[in-house]
Structure 1
């Protein structure tokens, strides 16, 4: 067992001798009274003032701020238990920060329903009688029950350990996942807004501008139809060419939203299609016995698409490969190239954006790109069968 194992933080069995663990426990019990009094006063004041002023505009905000202060009390008590009782407890997830555009009331509601703050208040409230009792028993034991004080201290601090673990530890994995998902929700919303702006810009600067010019050209051709038929014919011919270009731009834009080949034929055909457009020869291997949910399939497609764009633009590679397979309840993607390497998550190639998007759906993104190459990107997505997803329609991240 390693020295850092949690089991090594547990105190040794109690005995009549006063070892360092016993003195730490005695000190902890004697400090219970002042800490309990301070926590009880804070709790009663906060609840009394917050409830009394709840009919005013400052009552609920004051309570929300007070709950954040209660988090500080919980942090202090966890530190005290860690240093003096050997209780190793992870810190709860920080309260998710609301984005500025969500407003004051979103922040207020998030603060008022903070479970970590409420549990810390409950801990502070119930500790007063316990703090008085443990202080009195320990003080008497120091002068009267000296021989058996180590056993008394161990029994009392075991109850303290249970209270700290029960009220000040994270709420299993659920609380942590809630905080992560609230944070990831902001990433998803921002990504969707950026995609809508990109589509609007592409429509405005591309197909829309071309169609406006086409309408003007056809209008001029109509005016010249009787006076100069040959010029009108040339203008109609030019307009026909513009129509073809506009249609291709619209197809490219639709492919960027959700390609038809992905819907009709799945990842194998869709990834082969984007690999054929890469400037570097790409080998695609898809080993899947079924198709994942449409949302997961779309995210996988666009992840590989962006990675292959990076290969074309930045890698200077001679060859690349794409591998897709299922491993348990995860969809695995790996894109590899033999280029110059040196890619970084903060290198301006969109890698950080991909990592955030995959993280928002409980995925993983791992980049290995030493200087000189090769570059290997491994991504994981949660697998959900298409049958379980039903008729879900979620746009790709």
Structure 2
């Protein structure tokens, strides 16, 4: 592997100028591949796991030119080549000299004073020199495995530093993620409680009052049915109308939970129906989304619904656009309008509640709304492994 590193380092140096720059991108990519193999070698040597650096989602051209893993692998291979060449040469010289000294009685010729001569230039003369040389050689032979282990340890540390993840940053990132998730879970509980109170209030103020009125009307009709059949019939008709109005109100309350069209047909049918009821003209584009798990569909629907409500109330827009896409790992819903802009989540306008809904499932909500417009709201929701094709 040191030889491979030396070859790649030499080619990289040659490619650093002139037309060789054209080879730089494929060579850096090749270094990334070799770095991947190096991680497995380090794991086999040390038994310690080396996780690759986290990759960012970015366009192909940026991955080719600025891929962190490939450039870190390139730096590792250059340092590994220099370290391996120097330490390998020193270890080879030390081991060969040690073996020559220890093998002198077998390989060399005897001198008149009892010493040895190897190849005519290495002479060990006298008992003192022989004892000293053998002592040094034996010590070197015993120390050599320790030196080899030290060299390997430095190589492993170099690999973990450049080919692996920064453990400190990983811990900091995980700590931040734990804090974020804890906060989002708390906000989710608050959101559920607020939703429960809303449903309770809507039922109390609407359908429940209707039902009380219907019961009273039917009671009066029951009392008047023998005395004044025509008046009783009018009261029954009034109760019938109130019952139908109560059904409509119940549907409105239920729509605030899960619209039937969303549960039955998914986002591709529910979002155009939602846009048709909006106060401003809305164009909708849903690209190859299909059926998703109910939670993701519901959150995406209510994000779009609340965003369109904000457009109608606050933006002064003449037109809005909804675009929903899915790439297998995440769902992205974007709502843009041509209004006056200036939307700020810190001022409320429903954006705080939307952010709580989205972060509760580990999603993100981004709002771009300069003064004068346009406003773009983008919600990104993670998709569960395997789509729920109901």
Measured against the shorter chain, the TM-score band is 0.5 to 0.7
Give the number of aligned pairs: 229
Partner of 1:245: 245
Q: Report SS of the residue matched to 2:346.
A: coil
Q: List alignment gaps of at least 5 residues for structure 1.
A: 1-157, 392-397
Q: Distance in 2 between matches of 1:168 and 1:311?
A: 43
Partner of 1:204: 204
From the superposition, tell whether residues 348 and 222 of structure 1 become closer, same or farther in structure 2 (CA, over 3 Å): same
Q: Is the 8 A contact 1:342 1:373 kept in 2?
A: yes
Per-residue CA deviation, residues 223-275 of structure 1 (Å, 9 max, x unaligned), is 11111111111111111111111000111111111111111111011111111
Partner of 1:369: 369
Say which one has the larger Rg.
Answer: 2
Partner of 2:274: 274
Partner of 2:335: 335
From the superposition, tell whether residues 257 and 379 of structure 1 become closer, same or farther in structure 2 (CA, over 3 Å): same
Partner of 1:345: 345
Q: Distance in 2 between matches of 1:317 and 1:293?
A: 32
Partner of 2:235: 235
Shift of 1:390: 9.1
Q: Distance in 1 between matches of 2:228 and 2:180?
A: 69
Shift of 1:181: 1.6
Partner of 1:295: 295
Q: Report SS of the residue matched to 2:206.
A: helix
Per-residue CA deviation, residues 91-119 of structure 1 (Å, 9 max, x unaligned), is xxxxxxxxxxxxxxxxxxxxxxxxxxxxx
Q: Is the 8 A contact 2:289 2:325 kept in 1?
A: no
Q: Report SS of the residue matched to 1:171.
A: helix
From the superposition, tell whether residues 346 and 172 of structure 1 become closer, same or farther in structure 2 (CA, over 3 Å): closer
Partner of 2:192: 192
Shift of 1:328: 5.0
Shift of 1:292: 2.2
Q: Distance in 2 between matches of 1:381 and 1:339?
A: 26
From the superposition, tell whether residues 390 and 375 of structure 1 become closer, same or farther in structure 2 (CA, over 3 Å): closer
The TM-score, its normalising length taken from structure 1, stands at 0.54
Q: Distance in 1 between matches of 2:314 and 2:340?
A: 9
Q: Distance in 1 between matches of 2:367 and 2:188?
A: 21
Per-residue CA deviation, residues 289-346 of structure 1 (Å, 9 max, x unaligned), is 5322211111101111111111122222211111100135111111111122221112
Q: List alignment gaps of at least 5 residues for structure 2.
A: 1-156
Q: Distance in 1 between matches of 2:249 and 2:352?
A: 28
Per-residue CA deviation, residues 64-109 of structure 1 (Å, 9 max, x unaligned), is xxxxxxxxxxxxxxxxxxxxxxxxxxxxxxxxxxxxxxxxxxxxxx
Q: Report SS of the residue matched to 1:258.
A: coil
From the superposition, tell whether residues 352 and 220 of structure 1 become closer, same or farther in structure 2 (CA, over 3 Å): same
Q: Is the 8 A contact 1:283 1:322 kept in 2?
A: yes
Partner of 2:5: none
Q: Report SS of the residue matched to 2:278.
A: coil
Q: Distance in 2 between matches of 1:239 and 1:345?
A: 45
Coordinate RMSD, CA, aligned: 2.5
From the superposition, tell whether residues 295 and 167 of structure 1 become closer, same or farther in structure 2 (CA, over 3 Å): closer
Of structures 1 and 2, the one with the larger relative CO (CA 8 A, separation 6+) is 1
Q: Is the 8 A contact 2:287 2:326 kept in 1?
A: yes
Q: Distance in 1 between matches of 2:169 and 2:368?
A: 35
Q: Distance in 1 between matches of 2:364 and 2:229?
A: 63
Partner of 1:177: 177
Q: Distance in 1 between matches of 2:214 and 2:195?
A: 27
Q: Distance in 1 between matches of 2:308 and 2:287?
A: 19
From the superposition, tell whether residues 169 and 268 of structure 1 become closer, same or farther in structure 2 (CA, over 3 Å): closer
From the superposition, tell whether residues 172 and 316 of structure 1 become closer, same or farther in structure 2 (CA, over 3 Å): closer
Q: Is the 8 A contact 1:170 1:176 kept in 2?
A: no
Q: Distance in 2 between matches of 1:305 and 1:297?
A: 12
